Structure 1
């Protein structure tokens, strides 16, 4: 039975590249059984394949080569300790990937919603049903929809990033539905962003709350954000509600979604004002 194999045969039998075997030889983690001094050819003994399997396994679980060097020169106790540590690392990475998956899913749904809003006629009142949303909100005394509210929004970002999560592009204001003569008389109660239902967020001592925006049918109006025309869009929505005697929960939920993603371009947002029917 054949016991010695060339580097090419070893590579083929072990599903590994010749270049990788040469590199492993160079850094000293897997050397050939002997090298022909006449022609420089490397030869591996079949019993070495078992040790190559160990290296391949460690690589598969994303073990750094320097750690592999230490493990193969140590004992089973060292490997056990390392595997326990690596298990914890992988579990953390899986948690992060799951958060990324949820964020991606939420962002896809938001983009779908945004495109649906874009397809509606701007400045015209309409109705649409919305599912319940879980939100993270911060109180915003004396903040007007026209004000720079970025510093308040950064508080929400900080809370999410502290736990390894990321905020998406969805943010909104909540304020009272009233017959304002000028939109600069509006003062927002909260700024919010959406999060996944059931998320656990540490908000202790941060003046931030977890809340929900109820499901139901909303009276809405959408428009491309404009300080100049905000009043007319708000008045259109308010007068529609009043003239049709629509009962509401007395709140306006304003959301703004970016329609471009480069800081080098002029800022553009799609805005929707929503009022929940009772």
Structure 2
């Protein structure tokens, strides 16, 4: 997965097939791409542990696909993590997000976030669909992981 993302890094939108299920919880606080989402991620991790899941390190957010003046205007609606094990019945919301997506990959940057989002939106030409944002750290051993540097971000919209 990360190798494919690196191949498309900075090359504009492309089409990708995704096959996965995710656990989802709505965000309770206002969280934007400019915030550190630790508290919201911890809530999802706790829900996953209660469902006897092993939370992975990667997580993502969803928000409405539209043009924004600033990243501070983007309010994430939900946070999600890919399921690592089959899940039994419980209160955890699970979504099958399998399908075909337009995606754009870039080195995480709050300053350039809107530029890449607008590139994706100009390709898709849809209104009020959902943007899925996920990031993958390229180095978990340094402070880069904590402050979001040295990570590849992917924005995607289902076709």
Q: Tell me the TM-score normalised to structure 1 length.
A: 0.51
Greater relative contact order (Cα < 8 A, sep 6+): 2
Contact 1:145 1:173 in 2 (8 A): no
Q: Greater share of helix residues, 1 or 2?
A: 1
Contact 1:138 1:152 in 2 (8 A): no
Aligned to 1:261: 140
Change (3 A) 1:196 1:165: closer
Which stretches in structure 2 are left out of the alignment for 5+ residues?
A: none
- 1:174 deviates by 0.5
Equivalenced residue count is: 155
- 1:231 deviates by 1.2
Aligned to 2:43: 155
Aligned to 1:275: 157
Bigger radius of gyration = 1
Map residues 50-61 of structure 1 onto 2, 5 A cutoff: none
Deviations 1:95-132 (A, max 9, x none): xxxxxxxxxxxxxxxxxx1111112241511111112x
Aligned to 2:78: 190
Contact 1:123 1:233 in 2 (8 A): no
Name the stretch that deviates more: 169-178 or 264-273.
Answer: 264-273
Change (3 A) 1:257 1:121: closer
Map residues 1-278 of structure 1 onto 2, 5 A cutoff: 113-131=1-19, 133-140=20-27, 141-162=29-50, 165-196=53-84, 198-200=86-88, 202-203=90-91, 209-242=92-125, 247=126, 250-265=129-144, 267-277=149-159
Change (3 A) 1:160 1:180: same
Distance 1:272 1:230 in 2: 10
Contact 1:135 1:212 in 2 (8 A): yes
Which stretches in structure 1 are left out of the alignment for 5+ residues?
A: 1-112, 204-208
Runs of 4+ more than 4 Å apart: none
Question: SS at the partner of 1:127?
Answer: strand
Distance 2:142 2:41 in 1: 18
- 1:213 deviates by 3.9
Q: Greater share of strand residues, 1 or 2?
A: 2
CA-atom RMSD in angstroms: 2.2
